[in-house]
Chains A and B, each alone.
Chain A
C-alpha cells in the first residue's frame, strides 16, 4: 500500500527524520491559514501519482491569498485520474543540494538495499549506475555506522554531511524494517543550512504485512470494480478489449491474455481468481465479470488445488440465477475434471480440454457477434 506523502512524513517524524514544518489541509481556506502561519510555502497535492510536480500538482505561494488561489487550482485538478482530498502546505526550505536516498528490497539478493545518489531530484531515473551507490544490508547485522561511512567514502562525502548521514540512515532503516516497508524513498533529501531535511516521502508498506500495522489508514486509489475485486480477494485489472477472461493463477491468466491477442482478439480484463476458490467465491468472480458487459466470456481452468466441479457448479448456478446470454468459451481440465464436465454437459454447456481451442473459439465467437 502506497502512503500519501504526508503519511510518509508522519512516519519519518516518528522515527526522528527531519521534515519541513507543515500542515495537512482539506480546503483552500485552511491552506491560506497555513500560509499565514508558515510564510513562504510549497503546496503539494496529496495523490499517489508520481510526476506531480511536472503535472502542476505542486506550487509555491508567498501570501495567504496566493496560497488560497493555488490550493483551489490544485484541488480542482485531476492527477492520474484522481483528485486530491488533501494538500500538504509546508514551509519552503532553502535547498543547497538535492540528494536521493532510498531503502528497498533487492529480490535477487534477498535483502534490503540502500540506494544513495548526490544527484537527487526530478530526473533521478536518469542517474548513471556509478553515481548511484547501492549497499545491500544483512538483516541479522542491520545498518551500522561503518556501512554509512563506506557509502560516504564512495559518494565522496565528508565532514558534517557524513555525520548527518550516520545519524539519518539507521533511522530510515529502522523505520523500513519495523513498518514492513517495501520502499522508503526520500527524493529529494534536501541539504539545507539547517542540515538534512526530507522534502518528500514515498513510502510503500507491504500489503501482506498490513495486519501488523492496524494504526495505518487504508488507502485506496482504484476504480470501483477494482475495489470490489479486492474485497473479494481477486486479482483483477481492467483492460480495453471485448473478451472477459477468468483463469486460476497469475501466470496462466497472463498466458491466456497473450493467447487471446495471438488469435487476434483483445482481452477486457485480467482476472485471476486464485487457487482453491469455493462455489461462492467463484460465483462472485463470475458476477463481477458479467457486470462489465463484455461481448464474450472466456474461462480457462487448469485445476490443481482448484476443483473443476466447483467452477462448473458456480457457472451453472450463476447462469441459472442471472441468465448469462453472452457467448461463452469454457476450458476445463485437472482436478475433478470428469465431475466438472458432467455438470456442464447436464447444463448443456460445451467445454474444451485444450486452452488453444478454447481461446481461438472465444475469438471466433467475438468475430461472429
Chain B
C-alpha cells in the first residue's frame, strides 16, 4: 500500500534534460519508478534514458497522462514550472530545488490547496514508497520495503537514520522528506495522518530538528489521534540560541522551538525520543517486535 505514491504512480520529470534532471531520471528508473515523460521547454522531441521529452506539461499529460511531477528547475523559474504542473492537473508535485523565493512558495502552495494537490518540498529529497516508486534524489540502496514509515525535515540526516534501519534489516513503507524551507507543502501532521491510515505501516519514525513548531504540532496530533507507536530523533541539541544553522527553519528564537520544548512535547505524547541516530533501530524493533 504505502502512502501518496505506489508502483502505479505515473511520473513526469520537469527539467529532465539538465544535469540533475537526467542523472536522477536514470536513478529513478533504476529504482523502478514509472517515469512516463519529461518536460524541458524548447527540447521537445529529445529523449533521456529512452524517455520522451515534451515542450510543455500539458503536452506530456495529453499524450501520456501523469499523476505526479518532480521538478529539477532552477529556483528563479520553479514557480512558473510548478504552476504549470498544477494547471495541467498534476496532483502530486515534488519540488527538489532549494532557494525558491518564499513568496513564490506561498503562491505555489495556495494554488495547490485550491487544486487539492499535494506538494512535497521545496528543498526536499522527495519521497519514496520502498520497492515501488522513488520520486526524489535519495540513494537507491537504502530504501528497502518494510513496516516503518519515515518522515523527516532534513535530507542527509534521514539517509543516516534509514541507513541504520537498513543495516538492521528493517525496511520502510514510505519515506517522506518535508523539505528544509520555511514554507513547505507537507507538514508532519499531514504525513502522520496518512501513516495512521496505511495498514502496512506499523510504526513511524519522525526525524525533526530545532526551530519552528512543527514537532510540537506533531506531538499534539500523536497524542490526540494516533494509535501507532512513533519514534523520534531530533537534531540541534547542542545548537546555541539565535544562530541560524543552515536550514531556514533551524533557528531558535525567544525560547520557542528549542530542543527541550520539542523533546518534552513528544515525550508527553508517548513518543520515544532516541538520543543518537544509531539508537533508532533498537527502539523501532522494541515496538514492532524483534522479527
A interface with B by C-beta (< 8 Å): 105, 107-108, 110-112, 125, 138-140, 177, 180, 182, 206, 208-209, 211-212, 235, 237, 239, 247-255, 257-262, 267, 270, 272, 275, 302-305, 333-335, 354-356
Q: Which of A208, A255, A354 contacts B157 (CB 8 A)?
A: A255
Are B125 and A304 touching (Cβ within 8 A)? yes
B107 touches A139 (CB 8 A): yes
When the two chains form their complex, are residues B157 and A249 in contact, meaning their CB atoms are under 8 A apart? Answer: yes
A105: chain B residues within 8 A (beta carbon)? 102, 106, 182-183
What is the distance, in angstroms, from B282's C-beta to the closest C-beta of chain A? Answer: 13
Check B277 against A206 for contact (C-beta < 8 Å).
no
Q: How far is the CB of B265 from chain A (nearest CB, A)?
A: 15
B154 at the interface (CB under 8 A from A): yes
CA distance A250 to B243 in the complex (A): 13
Chain A proximity of B76: nearest CB distance (Å): 7
Q: A108 contacts which chain B residues (CB < 8 A)?
A: 187, 213-214, 217
Report the nearest A residue to B153, measured CB to CB. A251
Near A by CB (< 8 A), chain B positions 150-188 give 152-160, 163, 180, 182-185, 187
Q: B182 to chain A: which residues have CB within 8 Å?
A: 105, 107, 182
Report the bound CA distance from A114 to B30 in whole Å. Answer: 47
Residues in A whose Cβ lies below 8 Å from that of B238: 254, 257-258, 260-261, 267
Of all A-B residue pairs in the complex, the 6 with the closest CB atoms, nearest first, are A251-B154, A249-B156, A250-B246, A251-B157, A209-B101, A235-B246
Which residues 245-269 of B sit at the A interface, judged by CB distance below 8 A? 245-247, 249-250, 254
Interface check B64, CB cutoff 8 A: no
Please tell me if B225 contacts chain A, counting CB pairs below 8 Å: no
Q: Are A302 and B249 in contact (CB under 8 A)?
A: no
User: B103, A180: Cβ atoms under 8 Å?
Assistant: yes
The 8 Å CB contact of B101, one of A112, A206, A255, is A206
Minimum distance in angstroms from A1 CB to a CB of chain B:
12
- State the B residues within 8 Å of A (CB): 20, 75-76, 99-107, 109-111, 113-114, 125, 137-139, 152-160, 163, 180, 182-185, 187, 207, 209-210, 212-214, 217, 233, 235-240, 243-247, 249-250, 254, 275-278
CB pair B101 A111 closer than 8 Å: no
A125 CA / B255 CA spacing, docked (Å): 11
A335–B138 alpha-carbon span in the complex (Å): 10
Rounded to whole angstroms, the CA-CA distance of A119 and B159 in the bound complex is 47
Contact B137 A302 (CB under 8 A): no
Q: Is the CB of A334 within 8 A of B139?
A: yes
| Closest chain B residue, CB of each to CB of A247 | B156
CB neighbours (8 Å) of A275 from chain B are 155-156
Contacts A267-B238, A355-B160 given; does A110 touch B103 at CB 8 Å: no
B160 touching A250, Cβ below 8 Å: no
Q: When the two chains form their complex, are residues A270 and B246 in contact, meaning their CB atoms are under 8 A apart?
A: yes
Across the interface, name the chain B residue whose C-beta is closest to A238.
B243
**A contact patch SS:** mixed
- A/B pair count, beta carbons within 8 Å: 155
Supply 19 A–B pairs (Cβ within 8 Å), ascending by A: A105-B102, A110-B106, A110-B184, A111-B109, A111-B110, A139-B110, A140-B114, A212-B101, A251-B158, A252-B156, A252-B235, A258-B235, A267-B238, A272-B246, A275-B155, A304-B138, A304-B156, A333-B163, A355-B278
CA distance A259 to B275 in the complex (A): 9
Centre residue among B153, B159, B214, B278 by max chain A CB count within 10 A: B159
| Contact A252–B160 (Cβ < 8 Å) | yes
Provide the residues of chain B in CB contact with A355, threshold 8 Å: 160, 277-278
**Nearest neighbor of B110 in chain A, beta-carbon distance:** A139
B236 neighbours in A (Cβ, 8 Å): 254, 258
A107, B110: Cβ atoms under 8 Å? no
Note all chain B residues with C-beta closer than 8 A to A111. Answer: 106, 109-110
Per a CB cutoff under 8 Å, which of A180, A239, A250, A267 touches B102? A180
Output the nearest chain A residue to B107 by Cβ-Cβ distance: A139
Chain B residues, Cβ within 8 Å of A251 = 152-158, 180, 207, 209, 235, 247, 250
**CA–CA, A306 and B183, complex, Å:** 25
Q: How far, in whole Å, are A258 and B152 apart by their CA atoms in the complex?
A: 17
Contacts A110-B184, A275-B156 given; 8 further ones with Cβ under 8 A?
A: A105-B183, A108-B213, A110-B109, A138-B110, A206-B102, A206-B103, A209-B102, A247-B156
Q: Which residues from chain B contact A139 at a C-beta distance below 8 Å?
A: 103, 106-107, 110
Min Cβ gap B20→A in Å is 8
Report yes or no: B159 in contact with A250, Cβ–Cβ below 8 A: no
CB-based nearest A residue for B275 = A262
Chain A residue at minimum C-beta to C-beta distance from B250: A250
Tell which of A140, A253, A254, A334 touches B210, judged by Cβ atoms closer than 8 Å: A254
- Knowing A249-B154, A254-B210, A304-B139, the reply to whether A182 touches B102 (Cβ < 8 A) is yes
Q: Is the CB of B276 within 8 A of A304?
A: no
Closest residue to B185 on the A side, CB-wise? A110
CB distance from B241 to the nearest CB of A (A): 12
**Which residue in chain B gives the minimum CB-CB distance to A210?**
B101
CA distance A235 to B278 in the complex (A): 25
Q: Are A255 and B160 in contact (CB under 8 A)?
A: yes
Q: How far is the CA of A257 from the CA of B249 in the complex (A)?
A: 17
Name the residue on A nearest B108 (C-beta): A110
Q: Is the CB of B137 within 8 A of A305?
A: yes
In the bound assembly, the distance between CA atoms of A209 and B76 in angstroms comes to 8
- CB-based contact B157/A237 at 8 Å: no
Q: How far is the CA of A253 from the CA of B180 in the complex (A)?
A: 14
CA A206 to CA B183, docked complex, whole Å: 12
Q: Chain B nearest CB: distance from A55 CB in Å?
A: 16
